[in-house]
Amino acid sequence: CGEAICLEQAAGRYVQAGCYTTAELAVTPCNAVLTSWNCDTPRGTACEVQIRIFARGFWSRWMSYGKWSPFIRRQSVQNPVADSDNASLDGGTVHIKSPGGAEAVQLRIYLYSDDTQATPTVRLLAASVRPVQWQRNDGDAIQQRLLPCPAYTQNLRNPRFVGKISDAIAVTMLMNRWGEDLLPEEVAHTCYDFSAGANRSFTAALAGCYGYECFLRYADLAFLKKEVKSGFACAAAVHYAPDAETALEKNLPLVEGAPCAAQRHILVVRGFETDENGTEFVLVNDSRSATDDTAVRRYTL
């Protein structure tokens, strides 16, 4: 299928299943891995990504993310963990237990079809690692860069999704800035993980269904600034407390002006600016805010 991966055809019909396996990919010693895929999966088709890691001289077992399609009841797989395992897959993130980290990863993706006239098409299969020794770079200060991006609060959406929708609402903002007209509930329902709830890999895959290149990545501030300077707003995973007392009580970083305390939250970074005193700020759309208007915020970087 050109630069994409699809099922083979025989006598004008697609076979019902196939598998693509990457080479064994050497990586900087890492203690966590994020995996992403962008696929077109018409009705009657699905894909399933699996990963294994190499650590302490041994390959782990293959761990599955579960079958993916916007047209099925998606459920991440509860991969059993043994004491001897070097890695575990939990909530879409592979955690490496070996102190020295993993030295290699390998991905494979299964393609399934119940319709001989339809095939899944895989356009992206990616992994991002978090290095054990990571020299993060803050990058140069940006005087002012602001990207237009619609802002939504999750507090005024369908009550079923309140508190569970930050992944989906962030990717809705990112897609709608390019001209889509999507409701956060629509996106949340289509990428919801019926086993674990929010699933970042599923959320990125949903954006891929609309034709966007969307992936998860461990990144430092320098990379984030580069993306924004290039015109790309980003969803960022954060945790914070709005005041010193809550920060101490819950062991969270203090972000003055934050709307609440958040242990696991996704917001949209849409810009940076620096004031006359040299203080850097990050411009965000924070869906934990009370209203759409107050979701447009500026935090000290």
Structure confidence at residue 80 as a pLDDT band (50, 70, 90): low
Segment among 4-13, 74-83, 212-221 with least mean pLDDT: 74-83
What pLDDT, in 10s, does the model give residues 83-115? 667 888 887 899 999 889 999 999 999 999 999
What ranges make up the beta strands (E) of 56-199? 58-59, 63-68, 87-90, 93-96, 102-113, 121-131, 144-146
In this structure, what DSSP letter does residue 146 have?
Answer: E
Residue-averaged pLDDT of the chain: 93
What pLDDT, in 10s, does the model give residues 211-241? 999 999 999 999 999 999 999 999 999 999 9
Closest C-alpha among 92, 76, 268, 98 to residue 166: 268
What pLDDT, in 10s, does the model give residues 198-211? 789 999 999 999 99
Helix (H, G, I), strand (E, B) or coil at 104: strand
Residues 68/50, Cβ–Cβ less than 8 Å: no
Residues 224/269, Cβ–Cβ less than 8 Å: yes
- Element holding 121 (H helix, E strand): strand 121-131
Round to whole Å and give the CA distance between 19 and 165.
Answer: 32
What pLDDT, in 10s, does the model give residues 248-285? 999 999 999 999 999 889 999 999 999 999 999 999 99
Round to whole Å and give the CA distance between 134 and 263.
Answer: 23
pTM, full prediction: 0.92
Mean pLDDT, rounded, for 285-299: 96
